[in-house]
Amino acid sequence: MSALSFDIKLIVGLGNPGTKYAETRHNAGFWFVDALADQYREHFRPEKKFHGEIARINAEGNDIWLLKPDTFMNRSGLAVVSLALFYKIAPANILVAHDEIDLNAGIARLKSGGGHGGHNGLRDIVSHLGTKDFQRLRIGVDHPGSKHLVVDYVLKRPDAQDRQAIDKAIDDALRVMPKVVTGEWEKAMHQLHTR
């Protein structure tokens, strides 16, 4: 397989558990996998051994696990590595959906590998997997303008306009998932990135 041809076996949405955080920008990854599960009429259920909630969908003939870690953001890697090891899923076949402050609200981008960009969830996943070579869906939530404001910013609810924009980005990403899960990564990127 070439570097840009892989099928996805596990889609992880990053966020923090509990009602306190449910509507915050940092939970955009949860919003995405919730929307994906809804699309396939599947429901998440708690699974202690995977440190989170899981669902299973069949997309384009492929069985794919969905995971929402319940470990809080900075320990997300524990949940990811637990499920990946149990089902023998290689890092290249994992897609992590997360909030991205370096993209405007309303924009979603696919990325293969790369650093964590200061995102604590990605940092912990890289640490647990021992590699940066997993796939990412970056969901833009805007930047507060100063790095000193980031923590408070991502843990607050977006205003109605930003939430609408983030939901649009999630819808755009959902539309390319059939290509993503079947390994048509470059086609999916082209479709998503030229919107």
Catalytically annotated residues: 26
H-helix or E-strand containing 63? strand 62-69
Question: CA 68, CA 76: separation in Å to the nearest integer?
Answer: 9
Is residue 82 a contact partner of residue 51, using CB atoms and an 8 Å limit? Answer: yes
Cβ atoms within 10 Å, residue 4: 14
**Phi and psi angles of residue 5, each rounded to the nearest 5 degrees, phi first:** -135, 100
Q: What DSSP string runs through 103-153? A: S-TT-EEEEES---TT-HHHHHHHHHHT-S-SEEEEEE----SSGGGHHHH
Is residue 183 a contact partner of residue 112, using CB atoms and an 8 Å limit? Answer: no
